[in-house]
Structure 1
């Protein structure tokens, strides 16, 4: 269950940001936002999110979930990712954290993160050699997770 006490400040900041941009804080948006706070370590698709929230808010529609996720991504609250499986996945956009990258299992579809960022020195070289100012990068590795790799052996 969502422990608002533990995440109250973060939840309130997001609610304030929505209001600041003249968006209503509807019960559907609150429910979706709470689902992401409860599962912040996951990369949720609209369908995943819908399945999580429909039992708490049975009248919510999949289209509402899609619109809300796109809105939260547009406002920079969520980051929208494409892991090549035909579904967009969302996660909190942690601008104050070190950039992380993704490991994607081609067999089971599991997505995990790793924080080692060896690209910072490459970005500096690119800027120095080419005069190109890099503002972001995205790195994904595709392969087999430990479980699927073991099953192949």
Structure 2
């Protein structure tokens, strides 16, 4: 974890920002709960356990800054709640997600599935792609055992 903290600190410094104690507390929560796709409120409650003096507005500002600097990705799975996901080290693109519409579980796909699609878009529409997001909505393996699946 310390290695990732140091890398994030360097990313912030390269953009003339500091890794303040409040930012570090937020980053540590994101690192500790990396697989959880936490909302700002979830992150705030976890940060508050470590640093009770930190306010919700500070956590929101930190998350927005980290998002602008592409350290975290702000995502929405269609439920109206913004969630935050640390961008994987060295990742050129945002990773993909499988969202279960029954139980709400979220699984990550780390492979970049859209490289060829990006090339088609750039060539066919003259549009320079900087990033992409892909979310599949359906039924996870567990829910498929208990919920009737459409034949569509």
How far apart, CA to CA, are the structure 2 residues paired with 1:58 and 1:126?
47
Q: Are the structure 2 counterparts of residues 25 and 104 from structure 1 closer, same or farther at C-alpha, using a change threshold of 3 Å? A: same
- Seen in structure 2, the aligned counterparts of structure 1 residues 148 and 51 have a Cα distance that, compared at 3 Å, is farther
Per the alignment, in what secondary structure is the counterpart of residue 91 of structure 2? coil
Aligned-pair distance for 1:78?
0.8
TM-score of the superposed pair, with normalisation by structure 2: 0.80
| Paired residue secondary structure (2:90) | coil
Q: TM-score, normalised by structure 1?
A: 0.80
Q: Which residue of 1 aligns with 2:11?
A: 17
* 2:140 equivalent to 1:145: yes
SS at match of 1:35: helix
SS for the counterpart of 2:70 is coil
**How many residue pairs are counted as aligned between the two chains?**
147
Gaps of 5+ in 2: none
Does the C-alpha gap of structure 1 residues 24 and 150 become closer, same or farther in structure 2, counting only changes over 3 Å? same
1:85 lines up with 2:79 in the alignment: yes
| Structure 1 residue 22 displacement after superposition | 3.9
Q: Which structure 1 segments of 5+ residues have no match? A: 1-6
1:4-153 to 2 correspondence within 5 Å? 7-94=1-88, 96-97=90-91, 99=93, 100-153=95-148
Deviation larger for 12-21 or 37-46: 12-21
Aligned partners of 2:63 and 2:50: how far apart in 1?
Answer: 18
Q: Deviation digits for residues 88-121 of structure 1, max 9, x if unmatched?
A: 1111223623642111122332221113444222
After superposing the two structures, state which structure 1 stretch, 34-43 or 109-118, moved more: 109-118
- Contact (CA 8 Å) 1:98, 1:115: kept in 2 or not? no
Match in the other structure for 1:3: none
Shift of 1:151: 3.1
